[in-house]
Every structure is written in structure tokens, then in C-alpha cells.
Structure 1
């Protein structure tokens, strides 16, 4: 089994409120917000944006999360270095990390079998 495209874009920010307003002005709707300055936005059927506020002294990377339908059926192949295998997350998915030939880390996200798809982040 292979990946199925981009599942989400994970964005770290120094200002949660300004970031939400920025994306809302670009047509995204806030699907949910946490009590720790993070949340998920969506625009149509495309990938979700998950935005999380971090301290001002941290960098603010942007990360693409690739979709996997079934973590148990996924086989990375010999050209993919698995940094961390699929593990359950606190937000209702299973997440793995792989490294590409240039050293970039990629997250792979699959639904947990005990969670409905709508609960994914």
C-alpha cells in the first residue's frame, strides 16, 4: 500500500489568532479549536490545515502530512528510511515518520481503527 496524497499541512505559528484570521480571509473555515492555541481549518475538500502556536524563540516550520489509508497494510519499501513506525496519537490517528534521500522528515498519517475518520486532525 502507498500514500494517497496530502492529508494535512501542519503549521507552527507565533500568533494563533492572527494565523486563524489570515487563513479565514483566504477562505478557510475553523473546524475546531483547542484550549492551547491550536486548531484545524479546512477549505473545501482539500487537505486540512492544523495550526499550533509555539513560543517566540522557536522556529515556525511548515510540514506536509501524507495520507495512508491503513497503517497495518503500509509497506515503506527499501528506498524509504522509517524514522519512527506508526504509533497512536492523542488526537485519534496513527502517525509515522520517514526520511527522504535529502534528509527531510515526512509524517505519514492513518486513521486509528478505533476512531471515526471525522475525528482526525
Structure 2
């Protein structure tokens, strides 16, 4: 099993409030906000946009997160190797990292397995 497309866009900002207003002005709706200047927006059935505020001395980054249905069943295609293995996150998913030929890191996100 490989990836299923773009799950989310993770974006860092120096001003959470202004960023939320900007994307709301583009038609995105705030799904939730945290108590530490971050949160998630969505427009229709498009990938989510997760925005997190960072300190002014850091350069804001943007990263695409690719969807994986089952981390345990993930098999990378030719030329792809996991740089970091799938690990549980504090926000309820499992994430891993791969690098493309130009050295860019790509996050892979899968749901946590639930015991039935």
C-alpha cells in the first residue's frame, strides 16, 4: 500500500490570529483552535490546513502531509525509503518521514489503530 494523496498542509506563522482571518477571507472555516495559538481550518472536502504560531526568530515553513490508510501495511515504492519510522503522535495519528530526490522532507500520516 502506498499513499492516498494529500491529507493536510501544515503551516507555521508568526501571527496565528492574522493567518486565521486571512484564510477565513479565502473561504476556509475554522474547525478547531488550541490554547497555544494553533488550529485547523478546512474548505469543503479539501485537505485540512493546520496552522501553528512559532517564535519570531524562526523562519515559517510549509509542509504537505500525505495520507496513508494503514501505517503497518505501508510499502514504499522504488526509490523511497522511510527516513523516520511511523510513530504515534500527541494529536492522535501515526507519522513517518521520507525525503524526495532533492532532499525535501515529506510527512506521511496514518490513523492510529484501534483495537476492536
TM-score by length of 2: 0.96
Residue 77 (structure 1) aligns with? 77
Q: CA contact under 8 A between 2:41 and 2:50: conserved in structure 1?
A: yes
Residue 35 (structure 1) aligns with? 35
Q: Secondary structure at the match of 1:8?
A: strand
> Runs of 5+ in structure 1 lacking a partner?
116-121
Q: Distance in 2 between matches of 1:65 and 1:13?
A: 17
TM-score by length of 1: 0.92
Q: CA contact under 8 A between 2:11 and 2:63: conserved in structure 1?
A: yes
Q: CA contact under 8 A between 1:83 and 1:99: conserved in structure 2?
A: yes
Q: Secondary structure at the match of 1:106?
A: strand
Q: Distance in 2 between matches of 1:108 and 1:84?
A: 10
Q: What is the number of residues matched between the two proteins?
A: 115
Residue 60 (structure 1) aligns with? 60
Deviation of 1:78 after TM superposition, in Å, equals: 4.1
Q: Secondary structure at the match of 1:4?
A: coil
Q: Spell out the pairing of 1:81-120 with structure 2 (5 A cutoff).
A: 81-114=81-114
Q: Distance in 1 between matches of 2:15 and 2:66?
A: 25
